Structure 1
Amino acid sequence: MFQLNSTITWAVAFASAAAIASALILSWLLASGWAWRLATDVPNDRSMHTKPTPRMGGWGIVPVGALAIGLAAPYLWGIAVAMLFLAIVSHVDDRRGLPARVRFAAHIIASVAVVAAYSSGLAWFWVPVFVVALAWLINLYNFMDGADGLAGGMAFFGFGGYAVAALAGPHPSIGLGWACAAIAGAAAGFLLLNFHPAKLFLGDAGSISLGFLAGAFGYWGWRHEVWPLWFPLVVFAPFIVDASVTLLRRLLRGEKFWQAHREHYYQRMVRLGVGHARTALYWYAIMLVGAVVSLSVLTSSPAIQWMSIAIWGLILFLIGAAIDVRWSRFQILTSK
């Protein structure tokens, strides 16, 4: 018990230090004017905001996260290096814009590196499956970064759930838990400046990095038996389901899935009049429930686990269906 309490104390310390460091870095960048020089988001007809806003919030999370990984879990150095690589490429995209093929190539390189590095004992035919899955998670996290407080909140609850499972689950991994706690803390520091009305946005350097970490930590935890394969998927299910359903709809209509749009469920909620702040709070509730469900059945029998997953999936489906119904009514009213 003493050892667990000590472990949790250190996790809280990592999270608190990361939150303070992230908030201080971003506050300084804003106060000094460097935030605007690094990258600025100018609104267009697909944007959910109406005024230019710095989009460099990732630089409060990425360096803090890399340092935390180095201190808490140095054996995950490869993941930290791949994250920094993606952050640099994505920052260039934030500033100047990069062709989609260049961005996707970077995502594939990072995904291949991580999956290959921890593929011992994995059947060869699973390697491309996990590479594609990780690359998709990288992109869907970026797609879901379109409303104040949303992506930062998913990072807080998602990596917070990872931390609890890694520290207090049936197969603890202390270093991984501390690293995840630090990422959650850094996201909390960012949220202080990103909750509506946002003073800055995450930017691709932040959203791509967080999506990569969500997948890489989830994959590493599964490969080292910290948690079952379904656990990361359920923890991040709110983002995975929204982005995947939206992508499928766009593909069926023959649209380019990588182009910006305003068709995600969270975007529809904002446009329906729920607003940025309440939309974020509703999503926080969904994220929290998903994390709690995942953690509560972590040690249950497979039957209980899969039943819980099915019920949670049904709940997410019903939430999406309710938004679809309201959106259809809204379109009918506004088309008259």
Structure 2
Amino acid sequence: MQTIEVNPIYWLAILYGIVAAFSAATFLVCTKQWHGAFSMDQAKGIQKFHTMPTPRIGGVALLAGAVASWFALPGHTLQGQETRELLGLVLLGGMPAFVAGLLEDITKKVSVKARLLATALSGLAFALLSGYWISGVNLPGVDYLLAWAPIGLLFTAFAISGIANSVNIIDGFNGLASGVVVLMLLTLAAIAWRVDDFVVLNIALCGVAVVLGFMLLNFPKGLIFLGDAGAYCLGYLVAALAVALTIRNPGAVSPWAMLLVCGYPIIETLFSVYRRLSRKCRRNPGTPDASHLHSLVYRRVVSRKLIPYAPAWQRNALTSPFMWLYAAVPMLGAIFWPQSLVMVVAWLALSFFVYQRAYRRMVRMGVFFRKPARMAL
């Protein structure tokens, strides 16, 4: 039977991560009167469900926690050196996404295209710095193209950018995106443990600690938000580790299994694009709306059925556990069948079917609001 051979010193890195992230988040909340003029997320907006202006620069706290974990990693062992080197490359590669997201959090003027390009640049930077890029997906013809470095690097950049932006799309309620990321990182850690990749395992656990440190103030009351910088960087972190885990363990981990790890945000993104481009809606796919599954769960289930008279923050927070449960569905497939393409595709189809049925059930529970925004399938 396998045992988790995590160097005890690594727990110090995990402790540093959670303490630094919590301390930085606490500082940002306590000093919001100093920076609130540019860091606050106002309560007005079609996709807003909070009632008070709240700092949206949680990405700063996450970066502080990640850097603290990096400093605390041991460097006197071969495994420790490799772990520290890979985490350092992940942090360095993520800077374009972080900067673009933070600028948007502060100025509210960075275009969607610019942020998409920045996350793609982070994906490309990680691939170039680490040497980990997707060179095959077990599809004849496609693998031939991906084996050519320029195509493989661009594909990897596109994939990492897609995951980073999909995490930003599900960032709608207290603890929703951060809780889903914790589950994704734990899933990667479980797969890494199965294939004895303790470098990815330890980085994933450090990531979990950093996110939990932030969540202590984000969930349930939502005292601070991830913001674009936080959401992009968490999505980038998951995607970068997924790529590294696949490339470091050829044959043991299928790149398709990584789709299951990120199944919920990917399905939410694809369905949102389809919904906005459909004949009933005909909207720009990048336009924000309040028609996501988590928005419907908040209105149809939590606010109408479960706790209709509870304070807004309680209804906000109760929405997230429902989505955490759904997010775990595709992840289970990745844990049980990391190598089987057939099972991964079947489980992905099942996850989409569950999403589609849940969405239609939410629609039937009431009539969509026509104003201020039309909501349609």
- 1:267 counterpart = 2:266: no
In structure 2, list runs of 5 or more residues that go unmatched: 74-82, 136-145, 303-314, 372-377
- 1:294 counterpart = 2:334: yes
Following superposition, the deviation at residue 31 of structure 1 comes to 1.9
1:73–1:176 contact (8 Å) kept in structure 2: no
2:296–2:362 contact (8 Å) kept in structure 1: no
- Greater mean alpha carbon deviation, residues 151-160 or residues 15-24: 15-24
Taking a change above 3 Å as real, the CA distance of residues 198 and 35 of structure 1, as seen in their structure-2 partners, is farther
Which of 195, 200, 203 is the matching residue for 2:227?
203
Q: What residue is the counterpart of 2:27 in the other structure? A: 28
- Greater mean alpha carbon deviation, residues 38-47 or residues 175-184: 38-47
Aligned partner letter, 1:197: K
Q: What residue is the counterpart of 1:194 in the other structure? A: 218
Aligned partner letter, 1:57: G
Which of the two has higher C-alpha Rg? 2
> Following the alignment from structure 1 to structure 2, what is the Cα–Cα distance between the partners of residues 194 and 9?
29
SS at 2:366 equivalent: helix
> Following the alignment from structure 1 to structure 2, what is the Cα–Cα distance between the partners of residues 334 and 81?
45
Deviations 1:206-226 (A, max 9, x none): 001111111111112112127
- 1:78 counterpart = 2:78: no
1:155–1:183 contact (8 Å) kept in structure 2: no
> Following the alignment from structure 1 to structure 2, what is the Cα–Cα distance between the partners of residues 197 and 186?
18
Taking a change above 3 Å as real, the CA distance of residues 8 and 155 of structure 1, as seen in their structure-2 partners, is farther
Aligned residue runs from structure 1 range 43-82, under 5 A: 43-46=43-46, 47-69=48-70, 71=73, 72-82=83-93
> Following the alignment from structure 1 to structure 2, what is the Cα–Cα distance between the partners of residues 332 and 64?
41
Deviations 1:233-258 (A, max 9, x none): 11221111112111222133432222
Tell me the TM-score normalized by structure 2: 0.78
Aligned residue runs from structure 1 range 104-253, under 5 A: 104-117=116-129, 118=131, 119=133, 123-124=147-148, 125-166=151-192, 168-170=193-195, 172-225=196-249, 227-252=253-278, 253=281
Give me the identity figure in percent.
Answer: 20
2:184–2:261 contact (8 Å) kept in structure 1: yes
In structure 1, list runs of 5 or more residues that go unmatched: none
Taking a change above 3 Å as real, the CA distance of residues 306 and 62 of structure 1, as seen in their structure-2 partners, is farther
2:218–2:224 contact (8 Å) kept in structure 1: yes
1:69–1:80 contact (8 Å) kept in structure 2: no
Aligned positions, number: 328
> Following the alignment from structure 1 to structure 2, what is the Cα–Cα distance between the partners of residues 93 and 309?
36
Taking a change above 3 Å as real, the CA distance of residues 289 and 332 of structure 1, as seen in their structure-2 partners, is closer
Taking a change above 3 Å as real, the CA distance of residues 107 and 334 of structure 1, as seen in their structure-2 partners, is closer
Runs of 4+ in 1 over 4 A off after TM superposition: 8-13, 332-335
- 1:306 counterpart = 2:306: no
